[in-house]
Amino acid sequence: MSEHQNLEWKESWRDDYLRWICGFANAKGGTLLIGKNDRGTAVGVKQARKLLEELPNKVRDTLGIMVDVNLKRSKGHELVEIVVAPYPYPISYRGEYHYRSGATKQELKGAALDQFLLRKQGRHWDGVPVPQVAVKQLSRAAVDAFRKRARESKRLAPEILREALPALVEKLHLLDGKYLKRAAVLLFHADPERICTGAYIKIGYFQNDADLLYQDEIHGDLFTQVDKAMDLLLTKYLRAGISYRGLQRVETFPVPEEALREALLNAVIHKDYGSNTPIQISVYPDRLMLWNPGELPDTWTVERLKRKHPSQPFNPDTANAFFRAGMIESWGRGIERIFQACRRSGSPLPEFRSEQSGLWADFGYAKAMAPVETPVQTRVRTPVETRAKTPVEMTRPESRPESRPESRPESRPESQLESQPESLDARIIKLLAGQVLSKGEIASGLGQKGVPGQLKKVILQLLAQRRIEFTIPDKPNSRLQKYRLVPESSPHAKALR
């Protein structure tokens, strides 16, 4: 038998081992066996019987708890066994809080200590009251958007959705007495970072671990954060493969949209908001990595997370609101839904890693984005718009830059091929041939007034693909910045050819 969550060996007694007893009492209890070395070999204890008399009083006086102290024998040696029961309230050792996790003892500090103390009180982080925020300070727009979602999901009775805001908040169990809970601020306040530092999402595009090309931060209530993050990922950060089903154009993303949304929702709902750190999404040319500053429940492993398991949200009040809005289920099926979406699209299954600082979800892309006959993704549109656009539509940016040539079936008539408009990235490349131009000059050369957001997105993608480059690389935001084609002799240009 080896050391584990509920067993620790020590060769001889030292008063410092009161910290280990404290750790057992704060966790699930355990046994401290004095008289065995680290290999589990019995070496015996000198004056074992004296310890039998002294230890119960020493533990009681220092920790305020009672333990069973027993005399044991092994291979002719006397051992002292200290059996510690789990305690329902926090136990401290001279102002320090220790906790047994796995086969190690940890001193709890900062956010970890806050979580531990709340758990011992039967509370959770998002259920703590916030006296400094009133119901009238919640965002009406956020609440109205929730009402609409909940009405469509039919997970709240219509009469509840018609209630005034204070009554609705109470029905969602977001009040503690007369005070709003932290969950209410996260869900419905326009600026939850007033109460919770780091309650936002950060996205960055990396050429490699050292080269960050561009980034975005998404702030606001949690529902808005999820919507905006998904929109940015699908329109700016992930390059869709293009194929055709008859005359319909189909865009297939390197990470299935359903899997990406499920992973993002899991991160938002299970995040440890007490860490004061944002959710971070790192997008690379060959993968997407999502890091969530949260932790698995006690005794859980990544392998258990990937199997059938009960729903145990880190922020249950927040999770309840997302469930009522129809955005999640309540059966702990999030990981399986991610795997199902990846299998249906033929994408690699993501890897999950649990670290002390948080949980990683690593989505590798398929090696080739080949055209598919029956795509899983939902972005489907016809290749040529035949009707005239309305004035409102003319002011809208294109839905997504095309950063790679479209693949077209050979059976399509030549006249249809000729009618295809040239993609924006190809027009920019053609314009920059032999020239060095600013963004404004590029826009002017394309016949556009100002510099629309769509043009900015395509320029960023061309930079990420190393098809164009800055003329002032050390100051990407310089007002004198211009762009040029990557020289033909460059290894990046050769790789593209």
Question: Residue 488's domain is classified under what CATH number?
Answer: 1.10.10.10
Q: Is residue 274 in some structural domain?
A: no
The beta strand positions in 85-128, using DSSP E, are 97-101, 104-108
Total-model pTM: 0.62
Token pair, residue 256, equals: 């299935």
Say if residue 22's pLDDT is above 50.
yes
* Contact assessment for residue 267 and residue 290, using Cβ atoms and an 8 Å cutoff: yes
pLDDT digits (tens, 9 = 90+) for 138-149: 999 999 999 999
The pair of three-digit structure tokens given for residue 469, joined into one six-digit string: 């480059």
Q: Is residue 249 part of a domain?
A: no
Cα-based distances in Å from 400 to 329, 336, 404: 30, 29, 12
Q: How many helices (H) and strands (E) does the chain have?
A: 18, 20
Whether 116 maps to a domain, the answer reads yes
Condensed to tens digits (0 to 9), the pLDDT of residues 23-66 reads 999 999 999 999 998 888 899 888 889 999 999 999 999 999 99
Pick the closest to residue 349 from 313, 302, 402 (CA basis).
Answer: 302
Arithmetic mean of pLDDT, 240-253: 70
Write out pLDDT tens, residues 148-197: 999 999 999 999 999 999 999 999 999 999 999 999 999 999 999 988 99
Residue 255 lies in a domain: no
CB proximity list for 73: less than 8 A, separation 6 or greater: 79
* Token couple for 75: 């291979």
Across the chain, mean pLDDT equals 83
Question: Which domain does 30 fall in, by range?
Answer: 7-122
Comparing 385 with 313, which gets the higher pLDDT?
Answer: 313
Tell me: pLDDT of 382 over 70.
no
Q: Mind listing the pLDDT tens digit for each residue in 61-120? A: 999 999 999 999 988 899 999 999 999 889 999 999 999 988 889 999 887 888 888 888
CA gap 447, 440 in Å, rounded: 11
Share of residues in the chain with pLDDT > 70 (%): 84
The answer to whether position 377 is within a domain reads: no
User: CA 219, CA 228: separation in Å to the nearest integer?
Assistant: 9
Selected residue with higher pLDDT from 165 and 411: 165
In a domain, 360, yes or no: no
* For residue 497, pLDDT beyond 80: no
Give the integer Cα–Cα distance in Å for 121 and 124: 9
* For residues 425-430, average pLDDT: 89
- CATH code of the domain containing 34: 3.30.950.30
Last residue of a domain, one of 70, 104, 122: 122
Domain boundary among 71, 87, 122: 122
pLDDT of residue 78: 92
Burial (CB count within 10 angstroms: exposed 0-12, middle 13-18, buried 19+), residue 210: exposed
Q: Is the dihedral of CA 315, 320, 322, 323 positive or negative?
A: positive
Q: What are phi and psi of 223, to 5 degrees?
A: -65, -45
How confident is the model over 269-278, as pLDDT tens digits?
Answer: 999 998 889 9
Domain count, the chain: 2
pLDDT of residue 401: 35
In angstroms, the CA 197 to CA 90 distance is: 27
DSSP string across 367-434: S-----SS-SS--EE-SS--SPPPHHHHHSPPSS---SPPP--TTS-HHHHHTSPPPHHHHHHHHHTT
Asked, for residue 62, whether it belongs to a domain, the answer is: yes
Q: Is residue 140 part of a domain?
A: no
381: β partners = 249
With 0-12 / 13-18 / 19 or more C-beta atoms within 10 angstroms meaning exposed / middle / buried, residue 1 is exposed
**pLDDT value for 376:** 37
Q: Which is more confidently placed, 304 or 1?
A: 304
Q: What is the pLDDT of residue 62?
A: 94
What is the percent of the chain where pLDDT is above 90? 53
Distance CA 43, CA 74 (A): 9
| Chosen domain end from 97, 122, 147 | 122
pLDDT range class, residue 243, cuts 50, 70, 90: low
Which residue is associated with the tokens 């109460």? 195
Structure tokens at 205: 């595009």
